[in-house]
A = this chain, B = another copy of it.
Amino acid sequence: MKFFQVKSVEETFNLIREQIQPITETIKIPLYDALHYVLAEDLVALENVPDFRRSTVDGYAVKASETFGVTESLPGFLHLVGEVQMGKVPSSSLQSGEAMYVPTGGMLPEGSNAVVMIEHCEDMSGLLNIFRQVAPGENVISVGEDMEKGHILLEKGTKLRSQELGALASQGIIEVSVYRKPVIGYLSSGDEIVPIEAAKLSLGEVRDMNGMTIGALVKGWGFTFQYGGIVQDSREEFEQRAKELLAKVDCLIVSGGSSVGTKDYSVEVIQSLGEPGVFVHGVAIKPGKPTILSSAGNKPVIGLPGHPASAVIIFHLFGKAILEQLNGLPYEERRLTFAKVTKNIPSSPGRTDYVRVRLFNENNEWHAEPIFGKSGLISTLVKSEGMVEIAARSEGVQKGELVPVIIFQ
């Protein structure tokens, strides 16, 4: 067994970036089902959007030059020659001295090159008074201005949010090739762990709440969760059950048994699951030091600490990064929010601390109130909305300091 040095948070993220290989298997799915999938192909715009010059306002299509110099006190006059119907081609083209009504989204007639907003005109029985000049192209979206035919619309590796789905829908693209979502297996280990369905506990037993918490996070992030149950403290059974489950999933999470106790064989079992094996055993972090990260035949294996709060924090940090990278989203910076801490938080240099916080808004400022509590307490998690990160180089933060917060979601 190799000897592992405790890694810093930054080193751990770098190792995740290096070691976790994305799933390359792709599937074709209807656009309607594609939310939060990652695109497995470059997609090119098939059509110009818009494919006609479109007004961005309710107003009058004009030749811009015929409005030059008009003002509130010195209006210009144009002959109103009709109305463009939504979704219809204008019945005629615009001649000198003419204006034509066009609704928002309507097509500009030939001969016009700008639209004067309805608020800046007055229709005097067919003679249109214009009180404000417009520049060529003003209030108009030109052909292909939004999406240009033949140009890349979305790149391979893009996560499909609502707006990307909308952009594809506008092109009539109704099926996309995406990466298959990973299936995440979970196994709890420990003599004291019993199923959550257990009606009555014997003294010393606890229910497998980590299975529920981690499962909810996995599902909430859009992945598939497969609960593998509980193994007693038997190295042989643990190894066999872990191997069986790993064969069926893309990533295995093991909870508990990762403290430096006398019965700690988690790291050996995880190492035995496949090459290249364990790449992190211990992180300079509080809580969550006994974290194990491994890659077994290209499948990530995560050994979480058994403490519920530690497990949740580690899984938010490293688990989410691993699952996203597995799904084809390279790990980048974490999206953080900022808040002012309401109390001093002491911290030991050389270790990154994560302190659970309750967030509240006062006078248009976000404040983070530390929820102090032993890492085994579930109630501190329920009271908190996120966690403050205190960098390893720091000796803590002062009351009123603006600090980065990772939201639990």
The interface stretch among A11-19, A235-243, A277-285, A333-341 is A333-341
Bound CA–CA A375/B57 (angstroms)? 10
195-231 of chain A: CB within 8 A of chain B: 196-199, 201, 203-217, 219-220
Q: Which of B47, B164, B219, B335 contacts A382 (CB 8 A)?
A: B164
DSSP class of A's interface residues: helix, strand, loop or mixed? Answer: loop
Residue ID in chain B nearest A220 by CB atoms: B35
Q: A355 an interface residue at 8 Å Cβ cutoff? A: no
| 26 CB-based A-B contacts, threshold 8 Å | A35-B220, A36-B220, A49-B206, A52-B203, A52-B204, A83-B262, A86-B191, A86-B233, A87-B190, A87-B192, A87-B193, A87-B204, A88-B204, A106-B204, A141-B374, A147-B378, A161-B409, A162-B216, A163-B381, A166-B381, A170-B209, A172-B197, A172-B201, A174-B196, A333-B361, A336-B366
Q: A246 an interface residue at 8 Å Cβ cutoff? A: no
Residue contact A260 to B381, C-beta cutoff 8 Å? no
Residue contact B215 to A32, C-beta cutoff 8 Å? yes
Residue contact A217 to B162, C-beta cutoff 8 Å? yes
Residue contact B199 to A172, C-beta cutoff 8 Å? yes
**B-contacting residues of A (Cβ < 8 Å)?**
31-32, 35-36, 47, 49-52, 54, 56, 58, 83, 85-89, 101, 103-107, 118, 141, 145-147, 154, 161-172, 174, 190-193, 196-199, 201, 203-217, 219-220, 233, 259-263, 306-308, 312, 333, 335-338, 359, 361, 364, 366, 374-379, 381-382, 384, 404, 407-409
Residue ID in chain B nearest A119 by CB atoms: B260
Q: When A51-B201, A141-B374, A191-B88 are in contact, do A212 and B381 touch as well, CB less than 8 Å?
A: no
Nearest chain B CB to A289 CB, angstrom units = 11
Nearest chain B CB to A181 CB, angstrom units = 15
Q: When A58-B259, A204-B52 are in contact, do A191 and B379 touch as well, CB less than 8 Å?
A: no
- Complex contacts, A376 vs chain B, CB 8 Å: 54, 56, 105, 141, 146
Q: Which of B54, B196, B338 contacts A169 (CB 8 A)?
A: B196
Bound CA–CA A48/B260 (angstroms)? 27
Q: When A32-B215, A206-B50 are in contact, do A104 and B259 touch as well, CB less than 8 Å?
A: yes
- Complex contacts, A107 vs chain B, CB 8 Å: 203-204
Residue contact B212 to A165, C-beta cutoff 8 Å? yes
User: What 8 A-B pairs have minimum CB-CB distances, sorted nearest first?
Assistant: A87-B192, A166-B213, A162-B216, A169-B212, A87-B191, A163-B381, A337-B337, A170-B209
- Complex contacts, A217 vs chain B, CB 8 Å: 162
Residue contact A51 to B208, C-beta cutoff 8 Å? no
Bound CA–CA A155/B145 (angstroms)? 52
